[in-house]
Structure 1
Amino acid sequence: MTPTTPRRYGGMSADQRAVQRRESLLEAGLDVFAATGKSGATMTAICSRAKLTERYFYESFTGRDDLLQKVLDGIADEIRQAGLAALRSSTGTLEDRVRNAISSFVTILTEDPRKGRVAMIESAAFEPLRTHRRAALRGFAQMVADEATRMYGDRAWPPHQGEINGLLFVGGLAELVTAWLNDEITITPEEIVDAATYQFTSTAHR
């Protein structure tokens, strides 16, 4: 008996279409959550923005909170990958690499304000995203501590002090970006990068 060949629509397989629907829902979740916050980011509103039915929503997510966590994870992954690529580049001085890593963080959250609002503001407004956001920031703080140890070697702080410094640095940078997004401070993204670069290179080692 000849095996049945999976039907393709528009040149895409069933798996590819499922991936496309998932990405459409994630993009819609980013749009709606950034624009309306928790109250407006309902499953119905997200499906409407994505032009998909609830049937397809449950194909990829267990519920609204699951999708919003995945949206937050996507932003965090983008920042992490860009930051590590900059820090581990073989070009430029150590300060150049630090500046480029911090710039990638600030740029991702300010050039697309949707990502900034979701990662810095809306996700802090309710559970379970508040806890999820704190865990992400702790993860970034540990990354900062680990990278400082790799870059500064014998001059780096011991692990406990490195963790403290990482939390102070990430928390302060997050608050600066949040203040900028809320129009609470007269500062440019470039000035945020300058200040954070000076802070890191001054305090990440003995």
Structure 2
Amino acid sequence: MGRDYRGMSAAERLADRRERLISAAYTLFAHPGFHATTIERLCSTARISNRAFYECFSSREDLMRAVYERCVEETLASVNEAIDKASPTLDDRIIAGIGEYVRFVTKDVRRARVMHLEVRRAGDVLTGARQHAVGAFTKIIENSVQDLPHALPVDLHLLALALIGAITELLIEWVVATPTPSIDELIDACVHVFRRTFTA
């Protein structure tokens, strides 16, 4: 396979352009936002041609999906690691998992905006990716509380979905509210809801 003046193969050049587009989109989709960001602006920021864009992604929505899925994968890995390191008590798992999720997502406001605000604005084309992410986070909750010593009054899966929704709304509030609630306040609110849900 031929190499260009930078010593990169065609596959390496494609991967490099793809990463530059993902990096540009991570910033621009967070601000000024998905709908305000054109393909031309993405290409300008990534320093590639408009033609090269379509060698990497089929559409702006396709690029948004790649950015969103990477944010989710990184967050899942961080949360799972925190829970694995926590002591096995339910309360410690709740505190570790929620604390890590909120801190990790809010550590970079771009991640918070992409995961909880802009993914919704991107439209129906990302519904599948968002449902997949919700399912993955729901599974973490279900696995963390599967050894409860008492029966739950309602279906565990539905409870987990409801709790994911609560965390999502709190993080949207963190993104858009003025003044911004503190990270500790978000974590305290989430932990309170989880404790009241799963403590007999």
Q: Which TM-score band (shorter chain)?
A: 0.7 to 0.9
Q: Is the 8 A contact 1:124 1:133 kept in 2?
A: no
Q: Is the 8 A contact 2:25 2:64 kept in 1?
A: yes
* Equivalent in 23, 26, 34 of residue 27 of structure 1: 23
User: Once structures 1 and 2 are overlaid, which stretch shifts more, 92-101 or 24-33?
Assistant: 92-101
Opposite residue 116 of structure 2, the aligned amino acid is M
Q: Which residue of 2 aligns with 1:147?
A: 144
Q: Is the 8 A contact 2:65 2:126 kept in 1?
A: no
Q: Which residue of 1 aligns with 2:191?
A: 197
Instruction: Please list every run of 5 or more consecutive structure 2 residues that lacks an aligned counterpart in the other structure.
Output: none
Quickly say closer, same or farther: Cα 1:17–1:94, change in 2 above 3 A. farther
Q: Which residue of 2 aligns with 1:82?
A: 78
Q: Is the 8 A contact 1:28 1:46 kept in 2?
A: yes
For 1:153-203, what per-residue CA distance to the aligned partner results, in whole angstroms no more than 9, with x for missing partners?
554649x71111101111001111111111256521122112212322342
Runs (4 or more) in structure 1 with deviation over 6 Å come to none
- Give the whole-Å Cα distance in 1 for the aligned partners of 2:150 and 2:5: 59
1:72 aligns with 2:68: yes
Q: Which residue of 2 aligns with 1:174?
A: 168
Quickly say closer, same or farther: Cα 1:185–1:200, change in 2 above 3 A. farther
Q: Is the 8 A contact 1:113 1:181 kept in 2?
A: yes
Quickly say closer, same or farther: Cα 1:133–1:191, change in 2 above 3 A. farther
- Give the whole-Å Cα distance in 2 for the aligned partners of 1:133 and 1:175: 18
* Equivalent in 96, 118, 122 of residue 114 of structure 2: 118
- Give the whole-Å Cα distance in 2 for the aligned partners of 1:70 and 1:153: 36
Q: Which residue of 1 aligns with 2:36?
A: 40
- TM-score, scaled relative to structure 2: 0.84
Give RMSD over aligned pairs.
2.7
Instruction: Please list every run of 5 or more consecutive structure 1 residues that lacks an aligned counterpart in the other structure.
Output: none
Give % identity.
30
- Give the whole-Å Cα distance in 2 for the aligned partners of 1:38 and 1:169: 27
Give the drift of 1:12.
4.6
Opposite residue 121 of structure 1, the aligned amino acid is L
Q: Is the 8 A contact 2:83 2:96 kept in 1?
A: yes
Quickly say closer, same or farther: Cα 1:196–1:59, change in 2 above 3 A. same
Q: Which residue of 2 aligns with 1:15?
A: 11
* Equivalent in 33, 51, 57 of residue 61 of structure 1: 57
Q: Which residue of 2 aligns with 1:137?
A: 134
Q: How many residues of Structure 1 are paired with residues of Structure 2 in the alignment? A: 199
Give the drift of 1:17.
3.2
Q: Secondary structure at the match of 2:73?
A: helix
Give the drift of 1:77.
1.0
- Give the whole-Å Cα distance in 1 for the aligned partners of 2:56 and 2:180: 41
- Give the whole-Å Cα distance in 1 for the aligned partners of 2:2 and 2:199: 58
